Amino acid sequence: MKFFQSIGAKTLAKLSTAGRAALMLFGALVAVPKFKNVSLTIRQVYVVGVQSLLIIIVSGLFIGMVMALQGYTILVDYGAEGSLGPMVALSLLRELGPVVTALLFAGRAGSALTAEIGLMKATEQLSSMEMMAVDPLRRVVAPRFWAGMISMPMLALIFSAVGILGGHMVGVDWLGVDAGSYWSIMQSTVEWDKDVLNGVIKSLVFALVVTWIAIFKGYDSIPTSEGISKATTETVVFSSLAVLGLDFVLTALMFGIE
């Protein structure tokens, strides 16, 4: 009997958490955009986007390099090393760009968002804002949410671009694949709407999920050092799992049925 009770209690708790998360997002998004909030959003784009650039560029470069190396050793056996360009570009644009960017974003920016909002809650900054008749959902949460939505697709595209250059460095400059075929076959294979646009859509979905989880975990955290540490961990774990799971669903929808 207790077992069933605990199942019920846990389900109710999960449902009410989901409800709170939805209400928070709704509260942040119905905000009438003010000019003031635009400048706040731009500042957050700098914090979550620009400051994530280094990790994104370095990771993109190395992933592109590794893919070229691995791809070359396989393709060369079939004399197909000319197809290295499209292989690197397609894997990056369709999968690795959006997915790895989202995972890195969750670790770099998502955890920081959770910790920042959680600490603002713990030090009563959110509460005092409310008492000053300023809605923290609009002043604190909304700009961070939009900053995530704006930054993530751009970061994913930068990741893919740098990865393609990394592939070029290893494949063409080091292993001797013909530069002309690297670029021209890539150009003729990669399609704008099917590959590039789908990748951007993917990273928009990931941006929504990762930023939402990050700000909600901070906003809903228990305002103690233990609570914030737990919330930060959960942000990274939950958003990574959500990204990987959603990636499968999105890939199946976009590329599964021809």
Partner 1 sequence: MSQQKHCQSGIPTFSENHSWTVVLIVMDNLVEVDNMTFRRVDRVIYEGISLKVPKGKITAVMGPSGIGKTTLLKLIGGQLLPEEGDIRFDGESIPDMSRSKLYHTRRRMSMLFQSGALFTDMSVYDNVAFPLKEHTKLSDDVISTIVSLKLQAVGLRGAAQLMPSELSGGMARRAALARAIALDPDLIMYDEPFAGQDPISMGVLVKLIRELNDALDLTSIVVTHDVTEVLTIADYIYILADKRVIGEGTADEIRNSDSELVQQFLKGEADGPVPFHYPAESLSSSLLGGAE
List residues near partner 1 by CB under 8 A: 36, 123-125, 127-128, 130-135, 139
Nearer to partner 1, 96 or 126 (CB): 126
Q: How far is the CB of 103 from partner 1 (least distance, A)?
A: 27
Q: Which residue bears the tokens 């979905």?
A: 205
* Number of C-beta neighbours around residue 54 at 10 A: 10
Q: How far is the CB of 36 from partner 1 (least distance, A)?
A: 8
Q: How far is the CB of 13 from partner 1 (least distance, A)?
A: 13
* Number of C-beta neighbours around residue 15 at 10 A: 10
What residues contact residue 170 under an 8 Å CB cut-off, 6+ apart?
64, 65, 68, 69, 72
Nearer to partner 1, 40 or 102 (CB): 40
Ramachandran bin of 242, using left for φ above 0, alpha for ψ from -120 to 50, beta for the remaining angles: alpha
Task: Please tell me the distance from the alpha carbon of residue 211 to that of residue 96, in angstroms, as a whole number.
Answer: 19
Q: How far is the CB of 128 from partner 1 (least distance, A)?
A: 4
Nearer to partner 1, 125 or 229 (CB): 125
191 in Cβ contact with 89 (< 8 Å) = no
Nearer to partner 1, 6 or 127 (CB): 127
Q: How far is the CB of 118 from partner 1 (least distance, A)?
A: 13
To 10 degrees, what angle do helices 97-105 and 142-168 make? 130
Q: How far is the CB of 139 from partner 1 (least distance, A)?
A: 8
70 in Cβ contact with 166 (< 8 Å) = no
Q: How far is the CB of 119 from partner 1 (least distance, A)?
A: 8
Task: Please tell me the distance from the alpha carbon of residue 211 to that of residue 203, in angstroms, as a whole number.
Answer: 12
Nearer to partner 1, 96 or 115 (CB): 115
Is the sign of the CA dihedral 160, 162, 166, 172 positive or negative?
A: positive
Task: Please tell me the distance from the alpha carbon of residue 211 to that of residue 223, in angstroms, as a whole number.
Answer: 20
Nearer to partner 1, 123 or 224 (CB): 123
Residue 16, φ and ψ in degrees, nearest 5? -70, -30
